[in-house]
A and B are shown apart, each in its own frame.
Chain A
Amino acid sequence: MSSLNKSLLIPLIVFILLVITLGVGFSLKDPHILPSELIDRPFPDFQASELHDVDRTLTREDLKGEISLVNVWATWCPNCVLEHPELLRISKEEGVPLYGVNYNDEVIKAQAWLRRYEDPFVFNIVDDNGKLGIDLGVYGAPETFIIDAEGVIQYKHVGPVNRYIFDKEMKPVIEQLRANSVATRTAGVDS
C-alpha cells in the first residue's frame, strides 16, 4: 500500500462532519413548532372588546397584576375541543387565572361554543381579524402563553395542552415565577 497523502483525507473528514450534523437533526424538535419570538417581551398592546360584553374594552393592562395564562382558541379549531377539559381543570384547581383570545372567529359562534363546553376564562378578548394573534406570533390554534404579573410573556406552548404537558412544562414555569415574585417582595420588605 502506498504512503498516505493526507490531503485525500479531507473528503472523509468533511463527510464525518456532515453525518454528525444529520445525526443531530434527529434529536431536534418537531419541525412544525416554531419557537416564540416574544419570550421576555411585554404582551403586545391591543384594544378589543370582551366576548360576552361588547361594550367593555380590554387592553393589556387588564392582564397585569398576577401570573396568568392566555389561551388562543377558536370554534373552528378541533384541538381546542380536545384541550378544553384540561383548561377547565386548570382554571378550577391551579390557582392561575385563565384569559382567552378568541382568534379569527365569530362572536355569536364563540359564545355558543362556550355555553356548550363551559367557560373557564375570566374574560375573552375578541380578535376577529387575527391582528392580536399576529402580534403574538400566533400561526394556528390552540396556543397558550404564560404571562407574569408585569404582563411579560414568559412561555408559549403550541398545540393542545393536556395534564402531562401542564405538569411537566408549564407548572414549573409558574412555580418559578411565583418564587421569583416572592423573592423580590421579600427583598423589598427587608431593604
Chain B
Amino acid sequence: MIAELGHFSLILALGMCVALAIIPTVGIVQKNTQLMNISNSLAAGFFVFVAISFFCLGYAFWSDDFSVQYVALNSNSALPVQYKISAIWGGHEGSFLLWTLVMSGWTFAVGALSGGLTLDMRARVLAVMGALSIGFVLFILLTSNPFDRTLPVYPADGNDLNPLLQDFGLIVHPPMLYMGYVGFAVPFAFAIATLTTGNLDSAWARWSRPWTNAAWGFLTLGITLGSWWAYYELGWGGWWFWDAVENASFMPWLVGTALVHSLAATEKRGVFKSWTVLLAIFAFSLSLLGAFLVRSGVLTSVHAFAVDPERGMYILTYLVLIIGSSLTLYAFKASGVKSDADFEWGSRESMLLVNNLLLVVSAAIVLLGTLYPLVYETIYDGKKISIGPPYFNTLFVPVVMLLFTFMVFSPLSRWKKTPVQEFKKQWVGLVASFFVMLCLVLALAKEFSFVVLLVNTVALWIIVSLGKDLMAKVANKADKVAALFKQTMSYYGMILGHLGIAVSILGVCITVYYSEERDVRMVPGDSVELAGYEFRFNGVSKETGPNYMADRGDVDVIQEGKVLLTLYPEKRFYPASSNVMTEADIEPSLFRDLFVALGEPLGNKAWAVRIHYKPFVRWIWFGGVLIAMGGFITVFDRRYRRVKVAKQEKSKHADGVAGATA
C-alpha cells in the first residue's frame, strides 16, 4: 500500500515538473506575470511529491517489506536500522530516486531563495530545471521503478545489503555526491536561461555564484568522503584508483572548479562571458555523463550498478537531447558576445584563464583515459586494452603540478594588471619555504626525495603567501580583529580553498613517497618491525556481530619497548549474502596512520598479516574538507544577501509612498 502510494506520488511529481517546464515558459513568451509566478509553487510541489515518494520507499525498508523487490534485493531483517535506511540508495533504482529528490530539492531552493532575481529570469531558470527533471522522473517510472513488487510470491527475508556498503561512509557519500552532481544543474539552468534571453551580461554570473559554489562544495565533500571510505573500508591503504566511476565524479569537479573561478571573472569584470556559460554547460554535462557511465554497463567497474543496456540507451538519449540542444543554443546565441575588457599578462584575468585552461585540459585527460578502452575495442575489433593509474598519474600529475605552482601567485594578482613588484616580493616566501622544507625532509624522511622537496616547498609557499596576504590586509588597520571580520566571505573562501589544496597535495605527496607496507606470515608471538614500530601478533579469536561472524586478530603496537595500543583487524563472514569481508583496524593520527589487516589462515595458527605505515594520509581528506568549507562559506557573502535587503527597502519605501497617498 505504502509502496503504491510512493509510486503514485512520483507520477504526481512528474506532472509537477511537466507543468514547471511548460507553464512558466508560456508565461515568459506571453509576458504573463501570473504564469511566471506559479513557477515557485510548482517547484515546491515537485519537491513535496518526490519527498513523499522517497519517504514511502524508506518506510518500506524500515518495515522490512520484502514484497517490494528493491527492498528484498538490498535489505535483510537482521540489518541494523541505519543501514536499512541507507540501503534506500544502495542500489540503482533507489539511488536514482535519491538523485531525483536532490534535484527537486535544489529546484525548490532556487525558487524559494531567488527573491533577488527578476521574475522573468527566475521563471526561465525554474522552467529549465523542470524540463531536466522530467527526464529523471520518467527514467525512474519507465525503467527503474523501486516500487515494483515481487508478488505474488515474495521472499521471507531479503538478500541483505552488500556488507561493503554497511558503513557510515555509504550513508553519507552518495547523498553528498548527488548534492554536488545534481547541484550543477543550477548553474546550468542559469546559463541556459541567460542564453535564451540572448543577453549574456554579468548579472547571471552574480546570481549563480552562490549556487555553484555550494554545489561544488558538496561535490568536493562527496569525493573526499568516497576516498576516505575506500581507504578504511576496503583495507588496502589505497584511496584513489582512477576507476571509471571515480573519474565520473572527478571530471565534473575539475570543470566545476574552473567554473567557480570563471564566474568570479565574469561577475567582476565581465570577461569570459561565453567561456563561463560553456563551462556551466560542461559541468552539468559531465555530471550526466557520469550518471550514464555508472548505470549503463558501458564501462567496467566494480562500482558500477548492474548492467542494463535499456537504461543505458535511455540515459544516452537524454544526454544527447539535453547536451546537444544546449550546445547548439550556445553556438548560436553566444556568437555575438564580445567583451571589451582588457587585461595584461600577470593580471588576475590572465591567471584565471590559465587556471581554466589547465583544469579543462586535466579533465580532458581523465575523459580520454576513461573512454579510450571503448574506442579501442571498437576500432580494433574486440581487442581490449586497459588504462589505469600509471597512465593517469603520468599525464595528470604534471598538469596539476603546473597549476599548483601558479596558485602561489594567483591570489596576489590584481584585476587588469598586477605590478611586477607583487610577484617579485614572493621570492622571500619561496626561499623561506624551501629551507624549512629542506630541513624537515632531511630530518624526518627515511630517504631524501627531490620531488617531495619540490612539491612540499610549493605547498608551503602557497600557505605562506596566503598568510602574508591576509596579514597585509589587516596591516594598516588599528583594530586588527575587526579588520579580519571585515574581509568578505568570498575572500575567506578563497583562502580556505587554496589552503585545502595545498594541504591535500602535501598529504598525497608524502603518503605516496613514504608509505611502507609489509605482508608477512605470523604465528602468535611473532613480531615485525616497520617504520620504527614493532607489531606483535597475538593470535586470533572468534567473535560475532549482529549479522556476521568474525575472526578477530590481536596485534600490539610497540614503540621503544612500550605497548602503545592494540589493533583488532577482523575477517567477517556475512551468512545472508555469503560474503567475506576484511575489516582492517586503523590507528589514525594527524601525522601517520598505522593499519593492520588479516589475510588468510595459513595453517598451524599462522596467519597472513598486512601492516601499513601511512604518513600524512589524513591530510588528503582534511584538505578536501577545507576546500569544501571554502566553497560553502562563500555562499554567505554579504553581497548576495544585499540584493534582498535592497529589495526590502524598496518595498518599504513603496509602502510608505502608498501609505502617504492612501
Interface residue B331 (Cβ < 8 Å from any Cβ of A): yes
A 30-64 contacts with B by CB, 8 A: 31, 34-35
**Distance A35 CA – B376 CA, assembled complex (angstroms):** 13
The residues of A that contact B324 with a CB separation of less than 8 Å are: 12, 15-16, 19
The residues of B that contact A12 with a CB separation of less than 8 Å are: 324, 327-328, 330-331
Report which of B320, B335, B374 forms a contact with A5, defined as CB distance below 8 A. Answer: B335
Expressed in whole angstroms, the minimum distance between the Cβ of A1 and any Cβ of chain B is: 6
Q: A11, B335: Cβ atoms under 8 Å?
A: no
Q: Which one of A20-28, A72-80, A106-114, A144-152 contacts B?
A: A20-28
Q: A-facing mask of B93-119, CB < 8 A → 1, else 0?
A: 000000000000000000000000000
Q: A15, B323: Cβ atoms under 8 Å?
A: yes
Q: A22, B336: Cβ atoms under 8 Å?
A: no
Nearest residue, chain A, Cβ from B320: A19
Interface residue A18 (Cβ < 8 Å from any Cβ of B): yes
Q: B371, A2: Cβ atoms under 8 Å?
A: no
**Distance A3 CA – B285 CA, assembled complex (angstroms):** 26
The residues of B that contact A31 with a CB separation of less than 8 Å are: 297, 299-300, 307
**Distance A2 CA – B377 CA, assembled complex (angstroms):** 42
Nearest residue, chain A, Cβ from B383: A35
B 325-364 contacts with A by CB, 8 A: 327-328, 330-336
The residues of A that contact B300 with a CB separation of less than 8 Å are: 31
Q: B331, A23: Cβ atoms under 8 Å?
A: no
**Distance A24 CA – B380 CA, assembled complex (angstroms):** 13
**Distance A16 CA – B334 CA, assembled complex (angstroms):** 19
Interface residue B121 (Cβ < 8 Å from any Cβ of A): no
Q: B335, A21: Cβ atoms under 8 Å?
A: no
The residues of B that contact A16 with a CB separation of less than 8 Å are: 324
**Distance A1 CA – B335 CA, assembled complex (angstroms):** 9
**Distance A18 CA – B372 CA, assembled complex (angstroms):** 11
Expressed in whole angstroms, the minimum distance between the Cβ of A136 and any Cβ of chain B is: 17
The residues of A that contact B278 with a CB separation of less than 8 Å are: 11
Q: A-facing mask of B376-415, CB < 8 A → 1, else 0?
A: 0110001110000000000000000000000000000000
Q: A22, B298: Cβ atoms under 8 Å?
A: yes
Interface residue A29 (Cβ < 8 Å from any Cβ of B): yes
Q: B316, A22: Cβ atoms under 8 Å?
A: yes
Q: B312, A4: Cβ atoms under 8 Å?
A: no
The residues of A that contact B25 with a CB separation of less than 8 Å are: none
Nearest residue, chain B, Cβ from A29: B382
Number of interface residues of A (CB under 8 A): 24
B 165-196 contacts with A by CB, 8 A: none
Number of interface residues of B (CB under 8 A): 38
**Distance A59 CA – B247 CA, assembled complex (angstroms):** 47
Expressed in whole angstroms, the minimum distance between the Cβ of A63 and any Cβ of chain B is: 26
Q: A3, B298: Cβ atoms under 8 Å?
A: no
Expressed in whole angstroms, the minimum distance between the Cβ of A82 and any Cβ of chain B is: 20
Report which of A4, A11, A26, A34 forms a contact with B332, defined as CB distance below 8 A. Answer: A4
Report which of B198, B334, B382 forms a contact with A28, defined as CB distance below 8 A. Answer: B382
Report which of B309, B313, B319, B371 forms a contact with A21, defined as CB distance below 8 A. Answer: B371
The residues of B that contact A35 with a CB separation of less than 8 Å are: 382-384
B 260-297 contacts with A by CB, 8 A: 274, 278, 281-282, 285, 292, 296-297
**Distance A77 CA – B332 CA, assembled complex (angstroms):** 60
Expressed in whole angstroms, the minimum distance between the Cβ of A117 and any Cβ of chain B is: 25
Nearest residue, chain A, Cβ from B274: A8
Q: A11, B384: Cβ atoms under 8 Å?
A: no
Q: B374, A15: Cβ atoms under 8 Å?
A: no
The residues of A that contact B285 with a CB separation of less than 8 Å are: 15
Expressed in whole angstroms, the minimum distance between the Cβ of A4 and any Cβ of chain B is: 5
Nearest residue, chain A, Cβ from B380: A35
The residues of B that contact A3 with a CB separation of less than 8 Å are: 335-336
Interface residue A9 (Cβ < 8 Å from any Cβ of B): yes
The residues of A that contact B378 with a CB separation of less than 8 Å are: 21, 24-25, 28
Q: B327, A11: Cβ atoms under 8 Å?
A: yes
**Distance A31 CA – B385 CA, assembled complex (angstroms):** 11
Expressed in whole angstroms, the minimum distance between the Cβ of A54 and any Cβ of chain B is: 26
Expressed in whole angstroms, the minimum distance between the Cβ of A69 and any Cβ of chain B is: 22
Expressed in whole angstroms, the minimum distance between the Cβ of B498 and any Cβ of chain A is: 29
Report which of A5, A19, A29 forms a contact with B316, defined as CB distance below 8 A. Answer: A19
Expressed in whole angstroms, the minimum distance between the Cβ of A29 and any Cβ of chain B is: 6
**Distance A161 CA – B327 CA, assembled complex (angstroms):** 48
**Distance A99 CA – B193 CA, assembled complex (angstroms):** 69
The residues of A that contact B316 with a CB separation of less than 8 Å are: 19, 22-23
Q: B298, A26: Cβ atoms under 8 Å?
A: yes
Q: B313, A28: Cβ atoms under 8 Å?
A: no
Q: B335, A2: Cβ atoms under 8 Å?
A: yes
Report which of B298, B332, B383 forms a contact with A25, defined as CB distance below 8 A. Answer: B298
**Distance A147 CA – B64 CA, assembled complex (angstroms):** 55
Expressed in whole angstroms, the minimum distance between the Cβ of B296 and any Cβ of chain A is: 8
A5-B335, A11-B281, A26-B296 known, 17 other contacts, Cβ within 8 Å: A1-B333, A2-B336, A4-B332, A5-B334, A8-B274, A8-B334, A9-B331, A11-B330, A12-B324, A15-B327, A19-B324, A21-B374, A22-B374, A25-B296, A26-B313, A31-B297, A35-B382
- Can you list 6 pairs linking A and B with CB atoms under 8 Å apart? A5-B331, A8-B335, A18-B371, A21-B378, A25-B374, A28-B382
Q: Which 9 A-B pairs have the closest CB atoms?
A: A2-B336, A25-B298, A5-B335, A12-B327, A8-B331, A31-B300, A25-B374, A9-B331, A24-B378
